[in-house]
């Protein structure tokens, strides 16, 4: 029971995290029929039925395959816990030492090594789940089992990304964390960075 509840919770969180990506695909533009008139009853999902995996856009698949964060680390990122990729992108501005660069690169490589297999598993699970519906073979039991597996994998992925943000605090000084926040445009964070974590 707790596994199903946890999986459902993580699935809901992931849906919230990927909604901006879905909205971006719609472009925020009113759907129009071929005649050019607005189609008020047309679903914002129109066209998604052509996707290879209905629940994942091509961009989401690419992000999962590459181990990208997809907004899963916002709780850390927006509360003063920088991500290793962005720290490396800002290495010169943050005046990282050689040791800090080396440690940050190692964290990034470890993060990718952990998250890429989880991302591939999510794609595989979503593909199998989509097939259940597409072939009209879904049952209540298969639905519950598939969503529990997908939710658990999504939770693992999010936790993995968050752990590497958390680990960056041991690499950077408080001044560098504040500078990172400033460079990323997080003004509120920069004003409230603590001396220790």
Q: What is the pLDDT along the chain (197 residues), one digit of tens a residue?
A: 455 555 444 444 454 444 444 444 443 334 444 444 456 789 999 999 999 999 999 999 999 999 999 999 999 999 999 999 999 999 999 999 999 999 999 999 999 999 999 999 999 999 999 999 999 999 999 999 999 999 999 999 999 999 999 999 999 999 999 999 999 999 776 555 544 44
76-80 contacts: CB < 8 A, separation 24 or more?
Answer: 76/162, 76/165, 76/166, 77/165, 77/184, 78/186, 78/189, 79/189, 80/177, 80/181, 80/189, 80/192, 80/193, 80/194
pLDDT at 191: 52
Predicted confidence at residue 150, as pLDDT, reads 98
Helix residue ranges, H only, 27-171: 58-66, 74-77, 84-89, 91-94, 98-134, 140-168
Domains of the chain, by residue range, sit at 1-26+44-67+103-197
Check the CA dihedral 78-79-84-87 and report its sign.
Answer: positive
* pLDDT on residue 40: 78
Regarding pTM above 0.95, the answer is: no
Torsion, Cα 197 110 14 186, to 10 degrees, reads 40
């Amino acid at each position: 029971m707790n596994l199903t509840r946890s999986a459902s919770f993580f699935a809901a969180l992931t849906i919230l995290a990927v909604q901006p990506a879905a909205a971006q695909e719609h472009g925020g533009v009113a759907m129009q029929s071929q005649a050019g008139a607005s189609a008020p009853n047309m679903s914002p999902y129109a066209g998604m039925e052509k996707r290879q995996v209905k629940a994942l856009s091509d961009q989401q698949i690419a992000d999962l395959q590459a181990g990208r964060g997809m907004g899963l680390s916002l709780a850390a990122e927006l509360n003063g816990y920088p991500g290793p990729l962005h720290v490396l992108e800002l290495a010169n501005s943050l005046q990282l030492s050689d040791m800090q660069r080396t440690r940050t690169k190692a964290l990034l490589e470890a993060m990718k090594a952990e998250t890429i297999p989880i991302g591939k598993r999510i794609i595989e699970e979503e593909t199998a789940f989509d097939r259940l519906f597409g072939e009209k073979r879904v049952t209540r039991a298969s639905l519950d089992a598939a969503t529990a597996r997908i939710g658990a994998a999504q939770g693992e992925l999010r936790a993995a990304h968050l752990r590497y943000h958390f680990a960056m605090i041991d690499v950077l000084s408080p001044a560098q964390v504040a500078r990172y926040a400033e460079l990323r445009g997080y003004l509120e964070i920069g004003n409230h960075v603590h001396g220790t974590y």
